[in-house]
Amino acid sequence: MDLVVVLVVCVSSFLLVLLWKQSHGKGKLPPGPTPLPIIGNVLQLNVKNISKSLSNLSKVYGPVFTLYFGMKPTVILHGYEAVKEALIDQGEEFAGRGSFPLAEKASDKFGVIFSNGKRWKDLRRFSLMTLRNFGMGKRSIEDSVQQEACTLVKELRKTNGSPCDPTFILGCAPCNVICSIIFHNHFDYKDKDFLKMMEKFNENVHIMSSPWIQICNMFPILMDYFPGSHNRFISNTNYLKKYVLEKVKEHQESLDINNPRDFIDCFLIKMEKEKHNKQTEFTTENLIMTISDLFAAGTETTSTTLRYGLLLLMKHPEVTAKVQEEIDRVIGRQRSPSMQDRGNMPYMDAVVHEIQRVIDLIPTNLPHSVTRDVKFRNYLIPKGTNILISLTSVHNNDKEFPNPEAFDPGHFLDESGNFKKSDYFMAFSAGKRSCMGEGLARMELFIFLTTILQKFTLKPLVEPKDINTTPANNGFASVPHSFQLRFIPI
Ligand code: HEM
Ligand SMILES: *[C@@H]1O[C@H](CO)[C@@H](O)[C@H](O)[C@H]1NC(C)=O
Ligand SMILES: *[C@@H]1O[C@H](CO)[C@@H](O)[C@H](O)[C@H]1NC(C)=O
Mean pLDDT computed over every residue of the chain: 91
pLDDT value at residue 15: 58
pLDDT value at residue 70: 87
pLDDT value at residue 431: 97
Burial class (CB in 10 A: 0-12, 13-18, 19+), 76: buried
Residues of the chain with pLDDT under 50: none
pLDDT value at residue 207: 85
Determine if ligand 1 sits within 6 Å of the CB of residue 429: yes
Which residue among 48, 49, 55, 396 has the greatest number of ligand 3 atoms within 8 angstroms of its CB, and so is best to mutate?
Answer: 49
Which residue among 428, 440, 443 has the greatest number of ligand 1 atoms within 8 angstroms of its CB, and so is best to mutate?
Answer: 428
Number of the ligand 2 atom closest to the C-alpha atom of 56: 1
CA angle 218, 220, 223 (to 5 degrees): 130
Reported as a single tens digit per residue, the pLDDT across 66-122 is: 999 888 899 999 999 999 999 999 999 999 999 888 888 888 889 999 999 999 999
Q: How far is CA 105 from CA 29, 67, 102, 410, 480, in A?
A: 28, 24, 5, 44, 29
Q: Name the DSSP class of 373.
A: -
Provide DSSP, 63-79: SEEEEEETTEEEEEEES
Largest CA distance in the chain: 91
CA–centroid distance, residue 444 to ligand 1 (Å): 14
pLDDT value at residue 210: 79
